[in-house]
Structure 1
Amino acid sequence: MRRIPPLAAVRVFEAAARHENFTAASVELGMTQAAVSYQIKLLEERLGVPLFRRDKKRVLLTDAGRRISPQVVRAFEALDSAFGSIRAEDEALLTISTSNTFANTWFAWRLGGFQMAHPAMAVRLLTSDALADFVSDDVDLAVRAGQGGWPGLVEELLLPIDFTPMCSPAFLARHGGMIAPEHMMSLPLVSPHDRWWSVWLSEAGIDVPQGPLRPGVRLDSQAHEGNAAIAGQGIAMLTPFFWRNDIAEGRLVRLFDQVSTRGFGYWLVYPEHRRNTPKIRRFRDWLVSEIARDRELDALPSKG
């Protein structure tokens, strides 16, 4: 069994011995000078020998202190090197968790821009609609859909989740080039079981019956629903932010100006204790800037 004195006191001794100055050690360690003196006294009492000699306003290492100081300094250098290799490995890989919808409709298209700006850092994207566990899943940060309220995490709202019906131009043409809200329940709908349909139709003034609107294709993410709509399989309830390129390039048509929301949004989340981790700060700044820029573009008037 190792008989090592309290490591907090040893750490203070190492800094004080290097500087041979309690004030300089206190500044380095972020402690008061009184706390440094207390830890040194604690260590001296534990060892039974003085390590410093107080000489007026100076402190000097005693013979015992000078004898052990180089070994203690080397030990801390070895510890710093050991943990430094882990820090370097951690800084070299950024692991992000997000939902299938966010990954496939927006994130994966832009993540290469962050990688190119930080070529020394590898980026790993994990896609799942289950909430990531920041401990067991070894995840640095996540983009989650929800209403917030995840204990122990920093939460930053990236964008609200709103929705409106969309279909392909070919589907619209097959149905006369115009579809009224009251006619949609008789047309093929993508994922008609989704609560979004009832919310949007009710806000459009349509009397919506209780229960599912009608049988239909059920898909497990908006990414799949949007692609089904592009393929002409029906009308899908989609978030305009994610599909604006498909709208601009003529693959999708927004049927109405009205958008609805259930109060959900996409949030950037990460552990509170990692708020100041350099790679997390860099990615957070990039992501917030990218989304803000795209939202500003959406707000510009379209050229007719």
Structure 2
Amino acid sequence: MKSAAPPPLNALRAFEAFARHGGMTAAAAELCVTHGAVSRQVAALQDHLGVALVVGPRHRLTLTPAGAELAQRLTGAFATIAEAVETARRDERREIEISCLGTFALKWLIPRLPGFMALHPEIRVKVSESYASIDFTRSPIDGAIRIFNPGQTAKRSEATPFLPQYQGPVGAPSVTPPGLSIEAMGRLPRLHASTFRESWAVWSELVGVRLPAAQSREFQHNNSMIEAAAAGMGVAIVPWAFVAPDIQAGRLVAPFGFAERPSKFVFLRPEGRPDASVDAFRDWLVAEGSVSPPPIPSTGPGD
């Protein structure tokens, strides 16, 4: 009496391929095995089942009625398996890479990412730091966060503003005590980052003040500049989004608040490239931007 255990999967696959192609040679090519290997698997399957599946001369085998019925069912079964595997691959966790301004990622984005992960556990977010302009035709990234001025665009990309841009001077409590005048602040060392050297000129024009010449200290990135300000090395003009946690913690103070600029934080994504995961991230950014704490109001002479 033959065993009731299922026949070997390799034997079933070899027989199904033989039946579908009508020959051992074509089946062997599909399975990347030899002609003899397919022949042995078909013979082993017949022995296991105790049923004749093929008849005729070795080089002109044909299916018996039992063989034809088994082959038809196997073809459907293997198609179902292939579909299930493909579905599993589509449903696996998706990773998207977002290029972001380094200090914004550290101070604003990353502290909020656990909220996105809770809403979308199926999406992984890889954050890469960059200040460079975006060209999605040459970069594999899925999206980017940048600061855009009115009318600014990026080639072949869709831009979604999600957070207003506010800037103001900040310093350590020991350097910018309560009651500090703009004139007194103007005599302090001015810190700026090489990524935005014009920060003091832009803020002065925005609030309507004229500051005298003063000592200047430059740092490569905003984060280094912010740490220098917290260490008492001078005063820096910084976006509210970059320093809100430090001000709330008391490491920095903003003696004249933050003035709104026409520029905004925007999310860029490739134009005409459908991606539900990127859409979900964009929509989450817009929602987070709408509930982000407002800055300390500006108290400069122009307000």
Normalised by the size of structure 2, how large is the TM-score?
0.61
8 Å Cα contact 1:98-1:128 kept in structure 2: yes
Structure 2 match to 1:291: 289
2:148 aligned with 1:146, yes or no?
yes
Q: Shift in Å at residue 190 of structure 1?
A: 1.1
Q: Shift in Å at residue 244 of structure 1?
A: 2.3
- Give CA-to-partner distance per residue, 1:145-192, whole Å, 9 cap, x none: 22231132111111232211111112224xxx4321122232122128
Structure 2 match to 1:222: 222
Cα distance between partner residues in 1 of 2:170 and 2:252 = 6
The alignment partner of 2:202 has SS state of helix
Which amino acid is the alignment partner of residue 96 of structure 1?
Answer: I
Cα distance between partner residues in 2 of 1:248 and 1:256 = 15
Percentage of matched positions with identical amino acids: 28
- Give CA-to-partner distance per residue, 1:227-285, whole Å, 9 cap, x none: 22122221111122332232222111111146252x3221111112224x211122122
Structure 2 match to 1:282: 280
The alignment partner of 2:242 has SS state of helix
Question: Taking structure 1 as reference, are residues 82 and 101 closer, same or farther at Cα in structure 2, changes over 3 Å only?
Answer: same
**Runs of 4+ displaced beyond 6 Å:** 76-86
8 Å Cα contact 2:107-2:245 kept in structure 1: no
8 Å Cα contact 2:94-2:123 kept in structure 1: yes
Q: Shift in Å at residue 204 of structure 1?
A: 4.3
Count of residues in Structure 1 that have an aligned counterpart in Structure 2: 220
Which of 93, 111, 114 is the matching residue for 1:112?
114
Structure 1 match to 2:176: 172
Cα distance between partner residues in 2 of 1:115 and 1:204 = 39
Structure 2 match to 1:184: 185
Which amino acid is the alignment partner of residue 226 of structure 1?
Answer: I
Cα distance between partner residues in 2 of 1:126 and 1:153 = 18
Q: Shift in Å at residue 208 of structure 1?
A: 4.5
The alignment partner of 2:126 has SS state of strand
The alignment partner of 2:154 has SS state of coil
Question: Taking structure 1 as reference, are residues 119 and 257 closer, same or farther at Cα in structure 2, changes over 3 Å only?
Answer: closer
Question: Taking structure 1 as reference, are residues 217 and 252 closer, same or farther at Cα in structure 2, changes over 3 Å only?
Answer: same
Question: Taking structure 1 as reference, are residues 227 and 266 closer, same or farther at Cα in structure 2, changes over 3 Å only?
Answer: same
1:123-134 matches, within 5 Å, as 123-134=125-136
The alignment partner of 2:112 has SS state of helix
Question: Taking structure 1 as reference, are residues 153 and 80 closer, same or farther at Cα in structure 2, changes over 3 Å only?
Answer: farther
Question: Taking structure 1 as reference, are residues 300 and 234 closer, same or farther at Cα in structure 2, changes over 3 Å only?
Answer: closer
- Give CA-to-partner distance per residue, 1:108-136, whole Å, 9 cap, x none: 11112222333333221111111343244
- Give CA-to-partner distance per residue, 1:185-244, whole Å, 9 cap, x none: 3212212883221232345443356xxx44432123333222221222211111223322
8 Å Cα contact 2:258-2:296 kept in structure 1: no
Higher alpha-carbon Rg: 2
- Give CA-to-partner distance per residue, 1:12-31, whole Å, 9 cap, x none: xxxxxxxxxxxxxxxxxxxx
Which amino acid is the alignment partner of residue 217 of structure 1?
Answer: R
Cα distance between partner residues in 1 of 2:81 and 2:205 = 67
Cα distance between partner residues in 1 of 2:103 and 2:242 = 9
CA RMSD of aligned residues (A): 3.4
2:244 aligned with 1:244, yes or no?
yes
User: Greater helix percent: which structure?
Assistant: 1
Structure 2 match to 1:207: 210
8 Å Cα contact 2:168-2:256 kept in structure 1: yes
Structure 2 match to 1:270: 269
The alignment partner of 2:121 has SS state of coil
Cα distance between partner residues in 1 of 2:82 and 2:128 = 33
Structure 2 match to 1:99: 101
Which amino acid is the alignment partner of residue 198 of structure 1?
Answer: A
The alignment partner of 1:139 has SS state of coil
Q: Shift in Å at residue 106 of structure 1?
A: 0.6
Cα distance between partner residues in 2 of 1:117 and 1:124 = 16
8 Å Cα contact 2:193-2:221 kept in structure 1: no
8 Å Cα contact 2:168-2:240 kept in structure 1: yes
Cα distance between partner residues in 1 of 2:80 and 2:154 = 38
Question: Taking structure 1 as reference, are residues 152 and 203 closer, same or farther at Cα in structure 2, changes over 3 Å only?
Answer: closer
8 Å Cα contact 1:97-1:139 kept in structure 2: yes
